[in-house]
Amino acid sequence: MDNKMLSEALISMLGAGNVRTGELMKTHTTFRIGGAADYYVTPQAEKQIADVIAFLKKSDIKYIVIGNGSNILVSDEGFRGVVVELGDGFSDYEFLQDSQDNSDEVLVKASAGMKLTRLGNQLAANGIAGFEFATGIPGCIGGAVRMNAGAYGGEMKDVLKEVTVLTPEGGVLTLQADELHMGYRTSVIKEAGYIVLEAKIRLKEGDPEVIRETMKDLTIRRTTKQPLEYPSAGSTFKRPEGYFAGKLIMDSGLAGYQVGGAQVSEKHCGFVINAGDATARDVRTLMDNVRDIVYKKYGVTLEPEVKFLGEF
């Protein structure tokens, strides 16, 4: 399919305002790195998501679905395909009536593109507790459920009730939390290639002042221990069983190790940061070098938590 036909097809499904060409991905990732995607589309309704994904699959066109771009490294050459962003059109939430009518329990439905920090702040303002751990994680509900995001002793599996997904076959399926087999940075959603549309989470009523103090404490801990002043993708490597990636890297003498504009954070060695005009190649080379050095020293293979998009 030539570019003109593809553009016309995408515009017919999504509207001209929701289809961009040659969009620089560095403006859509927390790493602030990445070349241009051929097409960048922003569906505004669930049917549009289903229609565009079905079309791209049928046409054998490469695509990726993203939210906040917080866990990806995009090639300097960009992405030869279509980036589908579930963003502002999928950033709402609402409180639901729980049929079990537990007096202090609150059921919240949030769309896939809802940013975790924004949701956490809204919940705190309404005196809803239990989501404090996720407030500050630089992602959206969709990615958080897919990867079972967690921090400071909490994980999405602890609060998730059910999730509605788009299946690879184009159907809509609702799965209960115990059907998702959520583990460390994984779930059935990831393994099956489902796309999260919305999630329902179980929380509790709480004291707004206590909630705010908890969030304030976690914010202080994050800013003290993590290099939030620099662009990054958060934790760069998965936690190896029985170890901590950051400590292995630190003990290998790699704090501050730099390749071009990419650097192992001196504040937290589990983070690779964009210290200034880093390229995707800088980051990938640094990650490869860190992996090799840690393996040579400790016999432990570090696996990337970051997803690579495009050619490297």
Catalytic center residues: 185, 235, 305
What CA–CA distance (Å, rounded) separates 131 from 137? 11
What CA–CA distance (Å, rounded) separates 145 from 306? 16
Nearest residue to 79 via CA among 19, 142, 116, 34? 34
Structure-block tokens of residue 46:
């669930």
Q: List % helix, strand, coil for the chain (3-state, nearest 5).
A: 35, 30, 35
Nearest residue to 262 via CA among 73, 108, 131, 10? 73
Mark 199-210 as b/e (b = at least 16 C-beta within 10 Å): bbbbbeebeeee
Q: How far is CA 187 from CA 71, 108, 177, 287, in A?
A: 16, 21, 10, 25
What CA–CA distance (Å, rounded) separates 49 from 143? 16
Structure-block tokens of residue 182:
């959520």
Which is it for the CA torsion 139, 145, 147, 152, positive or negative?
Answer: positive
